[in-house]
Amino acid sequence: MDFWQLLISGLANGCVYGLIALGFVLIYKATEAVNFAQGDFMMLGAFVSIWLTNSEYLGLSFWLAIPIAILIMGILGYLLDLFVIRKMFGQPQIAVVILTISLGFILRFAAGAIWGHEPKLLETPFAGKELHIGSIVLGFEEVAIIIVTLLLTLFLFLFFRKAKLGLAMQAASQNQLAAYYVGIPVKRIQSLIWGLAGVVAAVAGILFASKGAIDPSTGLLGIKAFAAAVIGGFGSLPGALIGGLIIGVVEPFASFYLPAGYSQIAPYAIMLLVLIFRPAGLFAQMQKKKV
């Protein structure tokens, strides 16, 4: 395949990984917990949008279905925090990790029970359309993925830096007790963050399913998104995206140039190397505890 095809395709994949990684980092930045089910959120978001817009289900207009799907996932994230994650308030980090792992299992099972295990593709108005830039032919979906991802990342980055709510979220993550004292509604903010993560996951799912088939176990590519978040450094939003792009680009080139079987281990091998030699990732935020 052409170099540019590989690159753009890799970038598009990388954007999806980056979006999932963005979801991780959002929740981590706000609550120092990691949502191991973020990949499965993405899968759920994709299936919800498929259910709304595909002709074999509800068949709504694409431009109507997408915002509804995003809204549903946002509400789902919010409710999840409200009823489940909040009970974990004050418990050690490991509890939420294990909880979300289990949640992932349940989501996978539920999706399979509701929609079956056959791979499905999201019907979009721009399926099959192409962009011609010079001699390069690009799928419209791929370009859409890249553009949407960049815009979303920029929006979130600015949101955390400038918006009052974003700053409040940062404060709540750095010192909960102090945040309470200054009047920040910590618990409600936490739920908002989970809702936001749900929204981001939905966007990722919609973008992914428009380009490739999705089935209940697709959420497991959340593990690759982990690698992305780690490489970028867990506290950094743009880092998550860049990490995702790195993995997304490495994958097709690795499978092209390396013998079969080795290409699959490339993302994880890179991640382990980063963890061992530069554990804080490329955009470090963690340092030693002061006594």
Partner 1 sequence: MRFVFKKSYDDDIKLFKHKPQAFYYLILLILLIALPWLIDDFFLGEATNVLIFSIAGMGLMLLVGHTGQISLGHAAFMALGCYLNVIMMQKGVPFIISLPLAGIITGFVGAIIALPVLRLHGIYLAIATLAISVLSEDIIVIAERWTGGVVGLVAEPINIFGLDIDRYGTPVAFYFLVLIITLLILVAYRNILRAPLGRAFTALRDSEISAQALGVNISKTKATSFALSCAVVGIAGALMGHFAGAFNHESFNLILSIQLLLMIVIGGLGSIHGAFFGAMVVGLLPQFIAITRDSISGIFNLGSVPIPGIETASFAFILILIIMFEPMGIYGRWLKIRTYFELFPFYRKNMFKRQKSYLKTERMK
Tokens coding 199? 């929204």
> Of 43 and 99, which has the nearer Cβ to partner 1?
99
- Regarding 60 and contact with partner 1 (CB under 8 A), the answer is no
* Interface segment toward partner 1; rule CB under 8 A; list 94-102, 138-146, 202-210, 250-258: 94-102
* Interface segment toward partner 1; rule CB under 8 A; list 31-39, 72-80, 133-141, 196-204: 31-39
Question: What residue type is assigned to position 150 of the chain?
Answer: L
**Minimum CB distance to partner 1, residue 123 (Å):** 26
| CA–CA gap between residue 171 and residue 169 (Å, rounded) | 5
| CA–CA gap between residue 50 and residue 72 (Å, rounded) | 13
Question: What residue type is assigned to position 163 of the chain?
Answer: A
* Interface segment toward partner 1; rule CB under 8 A; list 39-47, 144-152, 223-231, 241-249: 223-231
Q: Which residues pair with 214 in a beta bridge?
A: 120
Contact status, residue 21 vs residue 243, Cβ threshold 8 Å: yes
Q: Which residue has the tokens 């980055």?
A: 157
Q: Which residue has the tokens 């009823």?
A: 83
User: At 98, which helix (H) or strand (E)?
Assistant: helix 93-115
> Of 139 and 234, which has the nearer Cβ to partner 1?
234
Instruction: State the number of binding residues for partner 1 (CB under 8 A).
Output: 58
| CA–CA gap between residue 165 and residue 80 (Å, rounded) | 20
Residues numbered 144 to 203 that lie near partner 1 (CB under 8 A) are: 173-177, 180
| CA–CA gap between residue 29 and residue 145 (Å, rounded) | 24
**Minimum CB distance to partner 1, residue 272 (Å):** 5
Q: Which residue has the tokens 């490329």?
A: 282
Exactly one of 58, 67, 105, 147 binds partner 1 (CB under 8 A); which one?
105
Exactly one of 60, 101, 131, 165 binds partner 1 (CB under 8 A); which one?
101
| CA–CA gap between residue 9 and residue 33 (Å, rounded) | 32
- Regarding 282 and contact with partner 1 (CB under 8 A), the answer is no
Exactly one of 7, 95, 121, 138 binds partner 1 (CB under 8 A); which one?
95
> Of 132 and 288, which has the nearer Cβ to partner 1?
288
> Of 71 and 110, which has the nearer Cβ to partner 1?
110
Contact status, residue 24 vs residue 234, Cβ threshold 8 Å: yes
> Of 87 and 129, which has the nearer Cβ to partner 1?
87
Sorted by sequence, the CB contacts under 8 Å of residue 4 that are 6+ apart come out as 136
> Of 121 and 223, which has the nearer Cβ to partner 1?
223
Q: What is the DSSP letter of 25?
A: H
- Regarding 226 and contact with partner 1 (CB under 8 A), the answer is yes
Q: What is the DSSP letter of 218?
A: G
- Regarding 113 and contact with partner 1 (CB under 8 A), the answer is yes
- Regarding 78 and contact with partner 1 (CB under 8 A), the answer is no
| CA–CA gap between residue 39 and residue 20 (Å, rounded) | 6
Q: Which residue has the tokens 């993405």?
A: 42
User: At 132, which helix (H) or strand (E)?
Assistant: strand 130-133
* Interface segment toward partner 1; rule CB under 8 A; list 28-36, 51-59, 195-203, 244-252: 28-36
Applying CB under 8 A, the residues found at the interface with partner 1 are 28, 31-32, 34, 84, 87-95, 97-99, 101-106, 108-110, 112-113, 117, 173-177, 180, 223, 226-227, 230, 234-235, 261-262, 264-265, 268-269, 271-272, 275-276, 279, 285-287, 289-291
